[in-house]
Amino acid sequence: MQWDKVKNILIAILLTINLFLLGNLAVRGWQSHRRTSELEANLRTLVSARGMQLDTAFSFPEDITLPELSLDRSRADEEKIAAAMLGEHAERTEQENGTVRFESDRGTLEWQVDGNVQADYTLTESAPTSASEALEQARRLCSRWGFQAEQAGWTAEDTVVTLTGSVAGLPVHNRRLTLDFSAGDGSVSLVGLWSFGTPYTTANGISITCSAADALLQFAAESGETGKIESMTAGYRMQTDSSRRIRLTPTWKIDTETGEYLVDCDKKTIIGEEN
């Protein structure tokens, strides 16, 4: 009988503790929500004072800490794509700056050290005449050539198709390929910025906190834009350092009603308009 009383007391204590913890968690959640709401309201006011507005559907993203990453240029992958596109016997020339050019009767392909690529290819099938046809043909060509993308994203406008893909599960905002079938001469042109392989951190690599509020205010203050900000997304951008190594730098992408802009998470500088 004594044990039953002790057991009931212990159960009561545990229930009390659980209720206290749940209540504490609820209070913290409410406080966090209130702070977020207040921050968003203040940001809307500050952005508006600089001649811009946040779209009514704008969702304020959470801050995120991302490591700087590195990528190595893969000449082997570049040559595989050249062989698949232009044939095994395509003529190869290399310039002093590291640019490699391939050429055959099928077309030309040029890779630059920073990942920029451009090509002209003679189609072996009829050129597409609509967005849906262009999208289908672009998918086939990229698969045949060997352009693979993690979480691939495809968009088509008329007969111009764009391929994007993430790296390490996050978008690389300026890593994209555009295939344009609109020349009307039975060819397709390809331009863009691309990479191969898995990114890695270096011994002296650092992590950078991407503050949404800082990036948003910096953009509103210095962009000179007016109108609505529709969304912002944390990710990376590709760039090369002095040793010609490709780096993935933490960067915000800000979408407005007039275009896309990149803001460096560390330097808080506007990189430029993407389209």
Residue 165: CB atoms within 10 A of its CB come to 19
Predicted pLDDT of residue 274:
45
Distance separating alpha carbons of residues 126 and 157, to the nearest angstrom: 18
Predicted pLDDT of residue 66:
93
How many angstroms separate the Cα of 35 from the Cα of each of 38, 42, 98, 150? 5, 10, 51, 36
Q: What is the mean pLDDT of residues 124-137?
A: 94
**Most confidently modeled range among 39-43, 62-66, 269-273:** 62-66
Strand pairing category for 100-104 and 187-193: unpaired
**What does the block give as tokens for 111?**
């890779």
Asked if residue 36 has pLDDT above 70, the reply is no
How many angstroms separate the Cα of 64 from the Cα of each of 61, 167, 234, 250, 261? 9, 16, 8, 10, 19
Distance separating alpha carbons of residues 166 and 234, to the nearest angstrom: 12
- pLDDT category, 273, cuts 50, 70, 90? very low
Q: Taking the chain, what is the end-to-end CA distance rounded to the nearest angstrom? A: 78
Q: Is the pTM of this model over 0.95?
A: no
Closest CA to 86 of 105, 99, 72, 67: 105
Tens-place pLDDT, residues 185-197: 899 999 999 998 8
- pLDDT category, 64, cuts 50, 70, 90? very high
- pLDDT category, 275, cuts 50, 70, 90? very low
Give me the residue label for tokens 């044939």: 87
| H-run or E-run covering 35 | helix 2-49
